[in-house]
Amino acid sequence: MEFVRGYSKKDDGSMYLSANGFDPENVSNRRRFFSTEGHDGMPVIAAGLIHGTAISVVDLKSPVYISETDALVTDKPGILLSLTGADCFPVFFEDPYAGNIGICHAGWRGILGGIVPGTAEALHTLGSDTKHIAVHIGSGICADHFEIGPDVVPFFESYKEAIHHIGTGDDKKILVDLKRIIRRQLTDTGITEDHISDANECTYCLEETYYSFRRDHPDTPQTQVAYIGMRA
Ligand SMILES: [Zn+2]
């Protein structure tokens, strides 16, 4: 079993797919990107993201766009599971023993809703032993760049260790280390530290390389695409 995964860059163009109709330029950016990555002819299934916690189990008969889902899992080789992001973390799951893969879109709402452990659980339902699951945390917003308002702080009650209050007076800021929460959720499900790898890249910091929603505030979303697949 060979796994493939990737994340596009700003140079590849925007990969955003709107639920209200796809921008032809983005469709062509996607085609070019997947071809450059060496996946010509491989079906690509896209999750239509809503910052929710729904997880879809897909196969070769699934539609190419699945609306209102933030995670995709499969036990079938020969398909690419994809989703877009521009600060939210793409989290990739693979189990070489059972031959299962998954990907989820982890922004703060989805993280608090449990999309990350939910995806691990979905692999388990497909037959994965949790201790065989390897996870890669892709590029996403760092703790220095994810600021929240005081009104949002109570939602993070269970993750106080990830909240940083910095500065004083008018310079006061509340920052959240989302990746720290993702890591804790993963280890809480029984995935071992040595099975977690990390791109260690912030989409906001790396302005030349990545689109960042919080940095750019674009009128129309501009996003990278993340994908995972397996070859039999
Ligand atoms: Zn950053």
Helix ranges restricted to H, 59-130: 108-113, 115-125
CA–centroid distance, 174 to ligand 1, in Å, is: 14
Residue 80 has pLDDT above 90, yes or no: yes
In this structure, what DSSP letter does residue 66 have? E
Q: Does the predicted model carry a pTM greater than 0.75?
A: yes
Show the tokens assigned to 79.
């398909």
CA–centroid distance, 74 to ligand 1, in Å, is: 32
Give buried/exposed letters for 56-74 (b at 16+ CB in 10 A, else e).
Answer: bbbeeebeeebeebbbbbb
**CA separation for the pair 121, 124 (Å, rounded):** 5
CA–centroid distance, 207 to ligand 1, in Å, is: 9
Show the tokens assigned to 28.
């062509």
**CA separation for the pair 114, 185 (Å, rounded):** 8
Helix ranges restricted to H, the chain: 24-36, 108-113, 115-125, 178-188, 213-216
Residue 24 has pLDDT above 90, yes or no: yes
Confidence at residue 171, expressed as pLDDT on a 0 to 100 scale? 86
Is residue 37 very low, low, confident or very high in pLDDT (cuts 50, 70, 90)? very high
Write down all domains in the chain, each with its CATH number in brackets. Answer: 2-141+181-231 (3.60.140.10)
Confidence at residue 91, expressed as pLDDT on a 0 to 100 scale? 98
CA–centroid distance, 99 to ligand 1, in Å, is: 34
Instruction: Read off the pLDDT of residues 169-197 as tens digits, 9 standing for 90 and up.
Output: 888 999 999 999 999 999 999 999 999 99
Confidence at residue 105, expressed as pLDDT on a 0 to 100 scale? 97
CA–centroid distance, 141 to ligand 1, in Å, is: 5
